Amino acid sequence: MEYSSKKLEKQWQEYWAKNRSFEPSEDFTKKKKYILSMFPFPSGRLHMGHVRNYTLSDAFARYYRQQGFNVLHPIGFDSFGMPAENAAIKNGSHPKTWTYSNIDYMKGEFKSLGFSFSKERELATSDELYTKFEQGFIIDMYEKGLLYRKKGFLNWCPSCNTVLANEQVIDGTCWRCDTSVVKKDMNQYYFKITHYGDELLSDLSKLEGGWPKQVLTMQENWIGKSNGLEFRFSFDEASLGRLNNKFDGFDVFTTRPDTIYGVSYAAIAPEHEIVSYMIQNSLLDDSVREQIESMKNASSIERQKEKSGVALNLHVVHPLTKKSVPVWVANFVLMDYGSGAVMAVPAHDERDFDFAQKYDLPIHAVIKPFNSESDDTKAFTEIGELFNSESFNGLNSKDAQAKIIEHFEMLKIGTRKINFKLKDWGVSRQRYWGAPIPFVHCDDCGLVMEKKENLPIALPEDIVITGEGNPLDKHPTWKHCKCPSCGKDALRETDTMDTFVESSWYFLRFCASPKNWEDEAFSKEQIAYWMGVDHYIGGIEHAILHLLYARFFTKVFRDLGYISFDEPFERLL
């Protein structure tokens, strides 16, 4: 018999739709499976990567239905984001029109591919209803101290007048207009993901066996927990004078306290407050100042490639030997890691070694391989046996690390410290097509949360998008509002949220019965039944960002009392 795809598939697609074949049951006594594919960005057309993922989840869903499970297999659209805005700039289309017409088209593609998705739970994260609940969560997180606003150094394109994500800086220039990107010190909202650093790390063990090992390792490295010593380098008398006694020194962190006797210089970031002070007070020669400015204007990726630096003509005192140590500005020291200052041990760190060779700085070896002599033509970065280290000579690195930290603590000149590579998550974007951050700036009250009954704070539809500046800020009326606290004239926050916020909780929204969607984001009972996701299917490119953020939100929602589990995704494919 001939297989007439056009006729047969249409017939079955109609049957499935009429019989609600893929809608999950609300009978929570049944055994369940929650099968989820990472939802797509509505770019316009499905690509083969999508088809691969949805075919996998569809096979799981159909298999478990046949086994008698109550199966939740939903789909939605991660529909905020820059591509919609860029299409608007290019073609003059409205981001909303562009997005929702793409969604319609892609829904048709899902249907003709025969995927067994729940129709009734389809959603787009740019739906105002979704924004409403998300803004509510943002307010809850702010009240809990998990969201804060502070100044930070961000990538800024002076031509586009917007902040760029690190991924949007290509060889130091703007991905869109090729202008050199600069670092700009500006206000930004941050989620306090570092508050969960320890738990995000230790709970990875709960995912072993369910998640690919590679993803667990990538998350572990990204969180980057390290134990070490923090101490303060104090300036010598001459340097104190040069700095008008404004600074007595600066803090550094090291994971290798066993190499402390090998310190031959200290390096600070070009953005360090001491450097800024020297520039502002004309304490540096023009040529030095210019070199520092050009370091600041390079992207962090560039700064890791070619090492460069300049001496500040300042000296600190070695905390143990009391010898004088020169202070350099070095481009590889980043302000957003640790304190923005490091002790440099060229004999035992490759980066410090290259820098010392380039600028002819001394190299003092203090660790040698067990049972052999040291080789001074390159950095010896492994653990070994200490020498040239006063009373610590002969110890192995591990013992010496513990003993040297104890020694610092006894002398009260330093402390044991745990450091994370993980940084707080900067979530504000100067873009139109995103969820508005629900805050108001009032001259009298400062930063004020919007009242929950006023949510959603929706985007205005009459918007002009040119690609320059923040469209919401330039809108003639949208930002003008009344202060929710005192009622006086105030200004709405015009930054919108990073779209990774929406994808951090959509899997919880799918658990909610659509008949309650207007009233609540989700219910505890429904969540308790459906979560965790039994099979989560998506690409390895999400190994860090999305999967880490979703784990973070899960822990936050648990601590806010909305849910009662620690991890969202049991098995990841």
Chain position carrying tokens 């609300």: 26
Provide the β-strand partners of residue 490.
481
Closer by beta carbon to Zn ion, 160 or else 531: 160
Closer by beta carbon to Zn ion, 176 or else 232: 176
CB of 89 to Zn ion, least distance (A): 11
**Does residue 169 interact with Zn ion by CB under 5 A?**
no
Closer by beta carbon to Zn ion, 59 or else 177: 177
Tell which positions 482-521 bind Zn ion, by CB under 5 A.
Answer: 483, 485-486
- Separation CA 492–CA 473 (nearest Å): 9
Gyration radius of the chain's alpha carbons: 28
Nearest Cα neighbor of 298 from 331, 256, 346 is 331
Closer by beta carbon to Zn ion, 182 or else 545: 182
Q: Using the 8-state DSSP alphabet, how is residue 470 labeled?
A: -
Of 167, 444, 520, 525, the one binding Zn ion (CB under 5 A) is 444
Q: Which stretch binds Zn ion (CB under 5 A): 146-154, 336-344, 375-383, 435-443?
A: 435-443
Tell which positions 83-142 bind Zn ion, by CB under 5 A.
Answer: none
Strands 341-344 and 265-268: antiparallel
Type of residue at 187: N
Tell me, residue by residue from 350 to 379, as one string, x for binding to Zn ion by CB under 5 A and - for no binding. Answer: ------------------------------
Residues near Zn ion (CB under 5 A), total: 13
Closer by beta carbon to Zn ion, 62 or else 441: 441
**Does residue 59 interact with Zn ion by CB under 5 A?**
no
Q: Which stretch binds Zn ion (CB under 5 A): 146-154, 156-164, 239-247, 277-285?
A: 156-164
**Does residue 440 interact with Zn ion by CB under 5 A?**
no
Closer by beta carbon to Zn ion, 159 or else 291: 159
CB 303 within 8 A of CB 332: yes
Of 139, 154, 160, 347, the one binding Zn ion (CB under 5 A) is 160
Provide the β-strand partners of residue 190.
148, 426
CB of 483 to Zn ion, least distance (A): 3
Type of residue at 95: P
CB 551 within 8 A of CB 76: no
**Does residue 177 interact with Zn ion by CB under 5 A?**
yes
**Does residue 159 interact with Zn ion by CB under 5 A?**
yes
CB 429 within 8 A of CB 498: yes
Q: Which stretch binds Zn ion (CB under 5 A): 287-295, 311-319, 346-354, 440-448?
A: 440-448
Q: Which stretch binds Zn ion (CB under 5 A): 23-31, 34-42, 150-158, 309-317?
A: 150-158
Nearest Cα neighbor of 156 from 171, 176, 174 is 174
**Does residue 445 interact with Zn ion by CB under 5 A?**
yes
Would you tell me how many other CB atoms lie within 10 Å of the CB of residue 347?
26
CB of 460 to Zn ion, least distance (A): 22
Of 36, 123, 141, 157, the one binding Zn ion (CB under 5 A) is 157
CB 334 within 8 A of CB 303: yes
- Separation CA 39–CA 173 (nearest Å): 31
CA distances for 552 relative to 192, 239, 507, angstroms: 10, 44, 13
Element (H, E) at 198: helix 197-202
Of 36, 71, 124, 174, the one binding Zn ion (CB under 5 A) is 174
Closer by beta carbon to Zn ion, 333 or else 440: 440
Closer by beta carbon to Zn ion, 177 or else 238: 177
**Does residue 442 interact with Zn ion by CB under 5 A?**
yes
CB of 438 to Zn ion, least distance (A): 15
Kindly give, in sequence order, each residue whose CB lies less than 8 Å from that of residue 490, ignoring residues fewer than 6 positions away. Answer: 440, 441, 442, 443, 445, 448, 481, 482, 483
- Separation CA 319–CA 408 (nearest Å): 9
CA distances for 330 relative to 268, 270, 353, 525, angstroms: 6, 7, 13, 55
Q: Which stretch binds Zn ion (CB under 5 A): 132-140, 172-180, 365-373, 557-565?
A: 172-180
Residues that bind Zn ion (CB under 5 A): 157, 159-160, 174, 176-177, 179, 442, 444-445, 483, 485-486
